[in-house]
Chain A
Amino acid sequence: MSFRAFTAIIKRDVKMAMRSFGDGLTLVLFFIMIGVIIPFAVGPNKVLLATIAPGVVWMAAFLSSLLAIDRFFRADFEDGSLLAMRHASISLSTIAFAKLIALWLTTILPLIFATPMLAMMLNMDYELFFRTILSLLVGTPALIAFGGIGAAITVSLKRGGLIAPVLILPLSIPILIFGISAIKTNAGVGVENTAVLFLLGISMLAMVFAPFAIALALKLDQE
């Protein structure tokens, strides 16, 4: 019963994201464009581009996810669905967890599918590319989890879209650090594996604890 409600929330959010397909497409375009702008900024030197490629991909994912989190609770807050969810048969933190998963599926997964384009333009080799995909897969759940906390705290603010990224960025720096280290092969023997494990640890912890913080913030907001 409760698991069905849980999957229903995920299905609902994914379906709604599919219907407003333009939003998701804009995000993917934004993600790719950041990667395209970088060669104009630093010059089309292929060696240099390959060196900074992991950082560029992570920055692009970072900024895109910051853009995406504003929409996280906004629509549900404005049309009153959030109020209804508080009285659902499953707890608000479970719903928040389901919504986090749905957000990851609808915003981050398309970005990961778009990564090959960036990899090609930034002159990544195959090994670097697969490491980047792995590091994004492992690290982005934490990014979404922190973003969810920021979105929940600023949901009642009209201009929350501006302030939430400022609140979330400092907290997300560890994700970026371990995300980049997980890609770099020249960092040291075994370092990249350690970084992947740290990244996995942060992601799992964040996905477990963020729903409670999100539910708490949403409840306090509506008191």
Chain B
Amino acid sequence: MKKYSPPKNINKSQTVKEMNWFDKLAHPGQFLKWSKYLILPLSLITIALFGIGLWFAFFNSPEDYQMGDTVRIMYIHVPNAWLSQFVYMAMAVSAIGTLVWRHPMADVSMKVAAPLGAAFTALALFTGSLWGRPTWGTYWEWDGRMTATLILLFMYLGLVALWRSFDDQLRAAKLIAVLTLVGAINIPIIKFSVDWWNTLHQPSIISAEGLSMPASIYTPLLVMMLAFTFLFVTLHLVGMRTEILKRKADALIRKSVSQTGNKGVGK
């Protein structure tokens, strides 16, 4: 196992030159430098995609012949449902980064992704229940997919709570990485068991798969999925920058406290 040790002084161009390209990209100090230039373009792309997607979704897509205007909830619901799983995948990859390469950036990525994933999952459930009311006639159905998403939300919230209950964030990262991977292995089992349980209890009344999608519905959906994915990437990047700066500030505070403390003892 290769342990990652950041160089002492990142301002010296000598040490930065000696690093390979990956270390350069992933070094916290360097990351703060290059990611600064990404935020504005990423935000602009996100806003543009949302503009196009929402315009398509509200004004330039047909009503469904059965569901009418409520089909437009799908353009918000499906992207959030996709992200609820995508974010966990990103977290699991970061967890491998934490455990195998012991990379501090993987810790930061994992930590920032958890509340974002929880938010997207909660939105997917919320929009899903809003959509369920007019189409299925109920806010909540113990449908296999909804149930699995609810369990996923609890897993996200558990991880967020766990991050908050540790003081030492470096130790927290390793332990949470273990739990994240255990959860990742479990997600297919949960999905399978919930589907099995659901078919046992009640046959599905309406399935969303029944709709064959014409391009006029497909296009805005894809644009909105892209828009939400870019939203996640942007928020994730900003969150990672904030977390790094917060850790730097914490380290500075600790340093100054220990220095003044030493002086006090010396005198």
Which residue numbers of A lie inside 8 Å of B, CB to CB? 149-150, 153-154, 156-157, 159, 163, 166-167, 169-171, 173-174, 177-178, 181, 187-188, 191, 198, 202, 209, 213, 216-217, 220-221, 223
Contact = CB atoms under 8 A, between A and B. Distances in A.
6 contacts: A150-B179, A171-B182, A171-B186, A217-B178, A221-B171, A221-B175
A159 B161 CA distance: 12
B249 to A, nearest CB: 24
A163 B162 contact: yes
Interface string B155-188: 1011101100110000100111011001101100
Contacts, number: 81
B197 interface: yes
Nearest to A174: B193
B165 A159 contact: yes
Given A167-B158, A170-B151, A170-B158, A153 B190 contact: no
A174 B161 contact: no
Pick the 7 closest A-B CB pairs, nearest first: A174-B193, A220-B174, A170-B154, A177-B197, A167-B158, A177-B193, A170-B151
B190 A181 contact: no
B213 interface: no
A174 B189 contact: yes
A11 to B, nearest CB: 29
Contact of A153 (B161, B162, B185, B193): B162
B194 interface: yes
A171 B148 CA distance: 11
A96 to B, nearest CB: 13
B196 interface: yes
B182 A149 contact: yes
Contacts of A178: 193
A35 B176 CA distance: 35
A169 B178 CA distance: 16
A1 B183 CA distance: 35
Contacts of B154: 166, 169-170
Interface of B: 99, 151-152, 154-155, 157-159, 161-162, 165-166, 171, 174-176, 178-179, 182-183, 185-186, 189-190, 192-194, 196-197, 200
Contacts of A169: 154
A178 B183 CA distance: 18
A173 B166 CA distance: 26
Contacts of B190: 170-171, 173-174
Contacts of A198: 193, 196
Interface of A, helix, strand, loop or mixed by DSSP: helix
A47 B158 CA distance: 38
A177 B190 CA distance: 10
Contacts of A167: 158-159, 162, 179
A150 B155 CA distance: 13
Contacts of A202: 189
Contacts of A153: 162, 175-176, 178-179
> Which of B99, B182, B185 gathers the greatest number of chain A CB atoms within 10 Å?
B182
A135 to B, nearest CB: 14
Contacts of A157: 165-166
A223 B178 CA distance: 15
A188 B161 CA distance: 40
A203 B151 CA distance: 20
A174 to B, nearest CB: 4
Given A167-B162, A170-B155, A181-B200, A220 B178 contact: yes
Contact of A177 (B158, B159, B178, B196): B196
Contacts of A177: 193-194, 196-197
A57 to B, nearest CB: 18
Contacts of A191: 200
B200 A216 contact: no
A173 to B, nearest CB: 6
